[in-house]
Amino acid sequence: MRATWQVHRSDAAEILSGIIAPRLATFDTKLTCQFIPGLHSMPMPSVFAACESRLDRRAKSKATRVGLQQANA
């Protein structure tokens, strides 16, 4: 199966945050963020900060949703 990489940045961040552990180490986050399309146009420090922040928010949001689903089950 061929992977499709033509995704929006937010979609890529969501996909990657599902693949990587909810608690992201800075090193892992920086490596991951290098592969999100469209971020190359920003200065590097802000790329990593914005990307890490987005992945962290999505991971926390996902963890909250999973927690609520388990509580309601």
pLDDT at 53 (0 to 100): 72
Tens of pLDDT, residues 29-43: 445 555 555 545 555
33-69: burial string, b at 16+ Cβ within 10 Å, e else? beebeebeeeeeeebbebbbebbeebbeeeeeeeeee
What are the boundaries of each domain within the chain?
9-72
- Please check the confidence at residue 28 and state whether its pLDDT lies above 60: no
19-31 mean pLDDT: 47
